[in-house]
Amino acid sequence: MDIKLKKSLLICLLYLGQHFSGQAVGTPYVPYTPDFTINRCTAPGSTIGWLARNIPANGADIAAKQQIEVIVTSPGPYNFTTPVVNGVTFSTSGTFAAPGTYTLDLIATGNPTNYTVNNNTYSYTVRSTTATNAGTCNFGRKVYVADQGYYNDNAGAGNHRFIYKVITGPSGREWLQTNLGSLYNKVGNVDFDPEMYAQGPNDFRAFGSLFQLGRASDGHELTNWTSSTTATFEMGTTTNNTINPTATNSGLFITSSVGDQDSNTGDLTKQLDEVLREYVVGPNQPCPADFTVAKVSADDSSGSTNFFEEEGIPYNGTATPALNSPLKLIAPNMYRNSANGQLTSLPYRLIRSNMVALYPTWVANAPEFVIGGGNLIETANNARQDRRFFLNNNDNRGPRDAYPVRCSKY
């Protein structure tokens, strides 16, 4: 190519570059700098999705995001991010095409390492890494506690997608605000709202799943309440009248012909209770990590106290005071009968545990906590027992009947 032609082309390219970059012809090139300002990040509706301990923040079912509003004076590339707080960061990047006001979704990544209590939040500060004069904004996010089977259950993917708010009772002890498996806590359910709690004694959305004594969240308990007296169950049933601990992990509800027999005789009821109770005191209890089925054994030699009485709720309080307590305790006027797997009328009961230091002595049963009606009795050695394990008990309940569970920090 002719040398003169090369020079002409070079001059033209230089002119065009200076012209389109906004630089005056003949002046040195200065890189373009975008100009924008973070306006706010706490507008109504700006908090999207949910965070739960040890659950990926960008999981498809909860997909935590935070919206920010940005006023753009000079368009260009952007990158907004927060520092990592509690294992999570929020960020987004792209290019503003023109001046104006923009709403951006900051996507959460990471796994929250801890949960929040009551209305506390973890605080995040949004900054720009491309416009030094963009300013900052701050927002807070709550972190909930996920069900123990959230991503690992026997009932099928998604069936244990529950997240729970943690609250404190009058004693300062931490509790899950709702029963395990409550419809208010089921991600994707039409009633899903982990901030919600029982709104009345017949609020079936807060009843939760019905657990057989001592069993984990393996699917057998999953209950979809359709009214205060009707429900469907996600898993089928199996019959087991022998002592077979592996059956309690099948995910199926166990029906049994074993009835109300005398524990003192060493019969199947006594042995079966010891098998089931092992799962309450062991690692397979149904509550999330760091939480346990609420204790009632004030005489535990390890020094534990009655979790419910700590909060001012008596053994045989009626349903209304229990609901009106700070814990908003609730239970259906029904239980799931192990004889046939069907709902049967029985006033307001929750499972509770009676964990003692010397396991497995048969007197340390794992019966239900009575919210309304019934009596708990004392045996000769002062270990509290449920009255259904005695021959003088005429309510015909069996050792595998199912009730709701409320969890507390141990």
Q: How do the pLDDT tens digits run along the chain, 410 residues long? A: 565 545 444 444 444 444 444 444 554 444 457 899 999 999 999 999 999 999 999 988 899 999 999 999 999 999 999 999 999 999 999 999 999 999 999 999 999 999 999 999 999 999 999 887 899 999 999 999 999 888 765 555 568 899 999 999 999 999 999 999 999 999 999 999 999 999 988 999 999 999 876 677 888 899 999 999 999 998 888 887 654 544 555 788 888 765 444 344 444 444 444 444 433 334 447 889 899 887 765 444 444 467 777 887 765 556 676 788 888 888 888 889 888 899 998 777 777 665 433 333 333 333 444 444 333 333 344 334 443 333 333 445 555 778 888 998 87
- Residue 261 has a pLDDT of 41
Nearest to 131 by CA among 187, 81, 84, 188: 81
Distance, CA of 144 to chain centre: 6
Q: For 144-286, where are the E strands, in sequence order? A: 145-146, 163-164, 166-168, 174-176, 211-212, 223-225, 231-233, 237-239, 253-255
Give kind and range of the element (H or E) at residue 11. Answer: helix 3-20
Pairing of β 407-409 and β 291-293: antiparallel
- Residue 154 has a pLDDT of 54
Pair of tokens at residue 366: 């794992």
Nearest to 390 by CA among 261, 274, 300: 261
Class of domain 35-143: mainly beta
- Each domain of the chain, given as residue ranges in start order, spans 35-143, 198-410
Burial of 24 (0-12, 13-18, 19+ CB in 10 A): exposed
| Model confidence, pTM | 0.80
- 112, 86 Cβ separation under 8 angstroms: yes
- 256, 240 Cβ separation under 8 angstroms: yes
Nearest to 185 by CA among 238, 146, 226: 146
How far is 275 from 366, CA to CA, in rounded Å?
Answer: 11
- Residue 203 has a pLDDT of 94
Amino acid at the residue 199? Q
